[in-house]
Structure 1
Amino acid sequence: MAIAQSALPMMGDGAEMTSSAERRLGDGIIRELYRDPDYIDDAVLQEYVQQLFNPLVQAARARGELSPELEERFAWAILLGRDRTVNAFALPGGYFGVHLGLIAVVGTRDELASVLAHELSHVTQRHIARLMAQQGRQTPLMLGAMILGALAASKSPGAAQALMVGGQALAVQNQLNFSRDMEREADRVGFGLMQPAGFAPQGFVAMFDKLQQANRINDNGSWPYLRSHPLTTQRIADMHSRIPQDATPLASASLEQLMMAARARVLMRPGVDTWRQWVAEPQDAGFAARPRPQRVAAWYAAALSAVQLADPAAARQALRGLQGEVAGDAAAARQARLLGAELELAAGDAPAALSYLEGSLALADASQPDAPRRRPELLLRTQALLRTGSAAGMTAPLQTWLATHPGDATAWQALAQVWQQQGQPLRAVRAEAEAQVARYDYAAAVDRFKAGQDLARRGGAANDHIEASIIDTRLRAVQSLLKEQTAER
């Protein structure tokens, strides 16, 4: 069913804004979002969403929607927000935001993939660059302020008004929404990515139907995705018409998907009373008669809610119930083990956390048998070993991970802790600086690199000439980036 890009009518190439300029604009916006209290780097949910997103990017490349230049210059990074609203958005430079509220309500991985495919297509089709061209080359500062204001609107209309009361900013907000033509194009291109990426195209239709139903029953603005992506009868009918009559029916939700939806609901911080209700839910009369998927989601929510409530006994009890339900499902069983490790770390029992991680199939690596290959295991194992005072073995796995994921600030911070525990303060300071670079906070990074220089000058245990040379080189590079960042402001 592959269709060459040239066979699809395009709306223009957004040539009035270069890909480099768009990436710089995105970097500036994303630096602010990293500071947002609602930003959450949850390794489990991040990995789950990323595993859906990566095949879509590969499909866009294979179909010719994603040019080599754009793939190289853009970030293709997803940020998660604790926001309870059902929303996702695309930002300049290949950045994407996903609210936990969206993960919490989607019924299947195909529905979530359809939203990601739609947002990805906004970026591959250069819709943001086109908007800027259409609106008379709005300055990056105005666009950035408008996007941040739109994000605030999903949390608090009052806060959004406070952000956008100045002069032209309120008018600019109205220019954020993509045109209906752009929405239809993102639908069409995104739909074409689904099957090549391994997802059921019916996920698009199912998600549209869910959003349209929400539109009928919600008139209080609680579904911002409907406001920024207005669903018309024509768009819905178009998606329905693209499903082949002999298409395989949409699969039901996997146990892992249900567990991730439950995790999103808990981490949205609904409040102590809600957490307590979820902890108590498996004790309800008739719970055992519920369908297995419902029991799995309830046990997971109960265990994680108990962790939030600092009740390890209740958490362990719920985890035992969960483990019994997911036996035989490899993906779900892995998520139960990760939750067990998280639970025991919160309870202060690092050896017990390690026992859960040792049982994970994700730990197998031909070159380094003890090195986790997947990020949740990597970070959890590092934290557990740090608490036992024996994290030296995590140095190589973390460095290997960072060689291919240099923008992972959390991994840099973990490496800094490992080096500090090994009596390598100079390397620890450099890792702390690199974590700031990964968040585009170049001023903070420069401060840490200079602290490293001071430490190197004092000599002693910190007298590592190679590391000092690396710090000098990185400091000059980041100072240049800071100068450019300051000029762009």
Structure 2
Amino acid sequence: MFQKKKRSLLGLCLVSALSLSIAVPSVAEPNSADLPDIGTVAGSTLSINKELQYGDAYMRILRATQPIINDPVLNQYIDDLGHRLVSHADNVKTPFQFILIHNPVLNAFAFFGGHVALHSGLFLHTQTESELASVMAHEISHITQRHLARRMEEEARNTPATIAAMAGSLLLAIASPQAGIAALNATMAGHIQGQLNYSRSNEQEADRFGMRTLENAGFNVMAMPRFFSRLAAEYRYSSKPPQMLLTHPLPQSRITDTRQRAQQYKAHHPKPSLSFYLARSRVVARYSDLKPASALDWLSRHKAQAPAAMKEAFDYGQALVYLDSDKLSQAKATLFPLWKKSPDNPFYLDAMSDLYLALKQASKAQAMLNHARKNNPDSAVILINYANVLYDEGKFKAAIHVLQRYTHAHPDDVNGWDLLSKANNRLGNEQEELAARAEILALKAQWTKAIQYYTQASQLAKLGSLEQARYDARIDQLLVQRDRFTALQKN
């Protein structure tokens, strides 16, 4: 559901400016004591609790300024993959959240509070799930080793005056990312060599811990140097390399080191992942900015080179292109056999739901999703699609019942709140519509409007009712969150 909406692509924010640079490491045994537990330092500069506050604030800024992909299917895929890696990582101190940004430029970055952001362009450059996992494992390691906090601590030891300016630039970026980047760059202009040396150490460490995470999670560790080598060759003579190679340069020494380290691990050759191929095809069909004819050509060419068991993923991508181009008969002819073969696959369920709605056959979509719910009652993909189908059928009360459960389980997903707002609007329930819209505003740090909407909802509610009490309690919570957010800017 929720087919692609065209959005403008904005520049990268603070974290890309803080992303850590090149590595010139030495080779050591993969599981030896050369992987020290140094990710727990930096507490004197920035506590874990403060990192979580910064991460939450910055995530809200990203939602307001970046074209984040709110796609339940892709979100579930990267979340499952990310947490599989986190479960095998070292020194995990925070919860993790993985987000996908609609941007064809190759990049990934990590920031405070366990947040890892991936550009959709990564799916166009990685060829296997292990390669994608290698990028994610590297970024996860930047977080578990607390590289941003340690970088600030290093600055504090070397030049105490700089840390205050650096922190001020970081906080400025919460309110104005572009201004924050400019201030940060100016702050660090006199400390280039020191920053470069420390960044080399961080990149080395992220590679090493990332490779161990890959190994423990059952991925092919050789995927990291293979991906690095291919990128270096592709952009060797480029006058404008992608952002990822600006923030994570790939000198030959780094490629050589990761290759030598990978060779010391026991070889893993996991089977190709159909979910990865399906996610990749979905990105090509809906988030690559390719025109339909070009997307179909890409899918056709890559299907010819794919393993036999993975070819259906490219058929799925073609079905999405047909569906989004209103070529419904072609979409059905391509998609229906895939779904019949794997009726519980979330990629196929989501696409079939869209197809049935496009064909004005919402009752078939409801029956399909009802059956799927029995096998997987907590699936976010199934629940949000089921609510969408109920809404399309005009069953607004039933849709609201499902969405109340969904938003409780997934409070950070704007899809649920948006659909809940629309369903309440159709029933004329203005106060609940306002409350749902307020939650979307709060997710984007638009505190004043969010509080205003909840205040209006409280005024519309019956005096002394449970609804009014709920709205007033939420206003109090938002006031606390707003004050905390403002304090980060003024600290």
TM-score (norm 1): 0.79
Corresponding residue SS for 1:59: coil
Query: Is 1:337 the equivalent of 2:332?
Result: no
For residues 480 and 342 of structure 1, the distance between their equivalents in structure 2, rounded to whole angstroms, comes to: 40
Work out which of the residue numbers 120, 133, 138 in structure 2 matches 1:118: 138
Answer whether contact 1:275 1:305 (CA < 8 A) is retained: yes
Answer whether contact 1:191 1:204 (CA < 8 A) is retained: yes
Change (3 A) 1:305 1:140: farther
Change (3 A) 1:37 1:438: closer
Answer whether contact 1:263 1:301 (CA < 8 A) is retained: yes
1:231, distance to aligned residue in structure 2 (A) = 2.2
**Aligned residue identity for 1:482:** R
**Aligned residue identity for 2:413:** D
Work out which of the residue numbers 191, 200, 211 in structure 2 matches 1:180: 200
- Structure 1 residue runs without a partner (length 5+): 151-159, 366-371
Matches within 5 A, 1:79-228: 79-135=99-155, 136-137=162-163, 138-143=165-170, 169=185, 172=188, 179-216=199-236, 219-228=238-247
- Structure 2 residue runs without a partner (length 5+): 1-28, 156-161
For residues 5 and 347 of structure 1, the distance between their equivalents in structure 2, rounded to whole angstroms, comes to: 61
Per the alignment, residue 154 of structure 1 pairs with: none
**Aligned residue identity for 1:382:** A
Query: Is 1:300 the equivalent of 2:316?
Result: yes
Corresponding residue SS for 1:32: helix
For residues 245 and 2 of structure 1, the distance between their equivalents in structure 2, rounded to whole angstroms, comes to: 7
Answer whether contact 2:434 2:454 (CA < 8 A) is retained: yes
Answer whether contact 1:90 1:122 (CA < 8 A) is retained: yes
* Greater mean deviation of Cα atoms: 463-472 or 172-181: 172-181
**Aligned residue identity for 2:328:** P
Answer whether contact 1:104 1:260 (CA < 8 A) is retained: no
Work out which of the residue numbers 365, 369, 372 in structure 2 matches 1:357: 369
Answer whether contact 1:55 1:198 (CA < 8 A) is retained: no
Answer whether contact 1:279 1:314 (CA < 8 A) is retained: no
* Greater mean deviation of Cα atoms: 248-257 or 259-268: 248-257
**Aligned residue identity for 2:61:** E
For residues 270 and 55 of structure 1, the distance between their equivalents in structure 2, rounded to whole angstroms, comes to: 30
For residues 438 and 147 of structure 1, the distance between their equivalents in structure 2, rounded to whole angstroms, comes to: 14
1:121, distance to aligned residue in structure 2 (A) = 1.0
Answer whether contact 2:39 2:146 (CA < 8 A) is retained: no
Per the alignment, residue 410 of structure 2 pairs with: 405
Corresponding residue SS for 1:261: helix
Work out which of the residue numbers 241, 244, 266 in structure 2 matches 1:247: 266
Per the alignment, residue 270 of structure 1 pairs with: 289
Per the alignment, residue 476 of structure 1 pairs with: 476
Per the alignment, residue 485 of structure 1 pairs with: 485
**Aligned residue identity for 2:293:** R
1:88, distance to aligned residue in structure 2 (A) = 0.7
Alignment RMSD, CA only?
Answer: 3.7
Work out which of the residue numbers 381, 388, 396 in structure 2 matches 1:383: 388
Answer whether contact 2:418 2:440 (CA < 8 A) is retained: yes
Q: Number of residue pairs matched?
A: 449
Could you report, residue by residue, the CA deviation over 1:418-477 in whole angstroms, capped at 9, with x for unpaired residues? 455566544443333333333433223202211111111xx4xxx781121111111112
For residues 85 and 486 of structure 2, the distance between their equivalents in structure 1, rounded to whole angstroms, comes to: 35
Answer whether contact 1:304 1:315 (CA < 8 A) is retained: yes
Corresponding residue SS for 1:410: helix
1:110, distance to aligned residue in structure 2 (A) = 1.7
Per the alignment, residue 443 of structure 2 pairs with: 438
Change (3 A) 1:256 1:113: same
For residues 305 and 208 of structure 2, the distance between their equivalents in structure 1, rounded to whole angstroms, comes to: 42
**Aligned residue identity for 1:39:** I
Per the alignment, residue 159 of structure 2 pairs with: none
Per the alignment, residue 313 of structure 1 pairs with: 329
Corresponding residue SS for 2:116: strand
1:225, distance to aligned residue in structure 2 (A) = 1.5
Could you report, residue by residue, the CA deviation over 1:360-387 in whole angstroms, capped at 9, with x for unpaired residues? 3x5425xxxxxx4111111111111111
Answer whether contact 1:146 1:169 (CA < 8 A) is retained: no
Corresponding residue SS for 2:98: strand
**Aligned residue identity for 1:357:** L
Could you report, residue by residue, the CA deviation over 1:163-207 in whole angstroms, capped at 9, with x for unpaired residues? 689566456599798701101111111222223334333333333
Change (3 A) 1:116 1:283: closer
Corresponding residue SS for 1:90: strand
Query: Is 1:25 the equivalent of 2:54?
Result: yes
* Greater mean deviation of Cα atoms: 402-411 or 286-295: 286-295
1:411, distance to aligned residue in structure 2 (A) = 2.2
For residues 75 and 306 of structure 2, the distance between their equivalents in structure 1, rounded to whole angstroms, comes to: 29
Corresponding residue SS for 2:118: strand
Could you report, residue by residue, the CA deviation over 1:192-243 in whole angstroms, capped at 9, with x for unpaired residues? 2223334333333333333333343x51434322221122333333333333
**Aligned residue identity for 1:438:** L
For residues 439 and 44 of structure 1, the distance between their equivalents in structure 2, rounded to whole angstroms, comes to: 22
TM-score (norm 2): 0.78
Answer whether contact 1:143 1:172 (CA < 8 A) is retained: no
Matches within 5 A, 1:1-16: 8=36, 10=38, 13-15=41-43, 16=45
Identity over aligned residues, as a percent? 24
Answer whether contact 2:134 2:224 (CA < 8 A) is retained: yes
Answer whether contact 2:98 2:116 (CA < 8 A) is retained: yes
1:52, distance to aligned residue in structure 2 (A) = 0.6
Change (3 A) 1:488 1:282: closer
Per the alignment, residue 157 of structure 1 pairs with: none
For residues 227 and 454 of structure 1, the distance between their equivalents in structure 2, rounded to whole angstroms, comes to: 52
Change (3 A) 1:2 1:364: farther
Answer whether contact 1:214 1:223 (CA < 8 A) is retained: no
* Greater mean deviation of Cα atoms: 86-95 or 333-342: 333-342
1:408, distance to aligned residue in structure 2 (A) = 2.8
For residues 147 and 211 of structure 1, the distance between their equivalents in structure 2, rounded to whole angstroms, comes to: 32
Answer whether contact 1:426 1:455 (CA < 8 A) is retained: yes
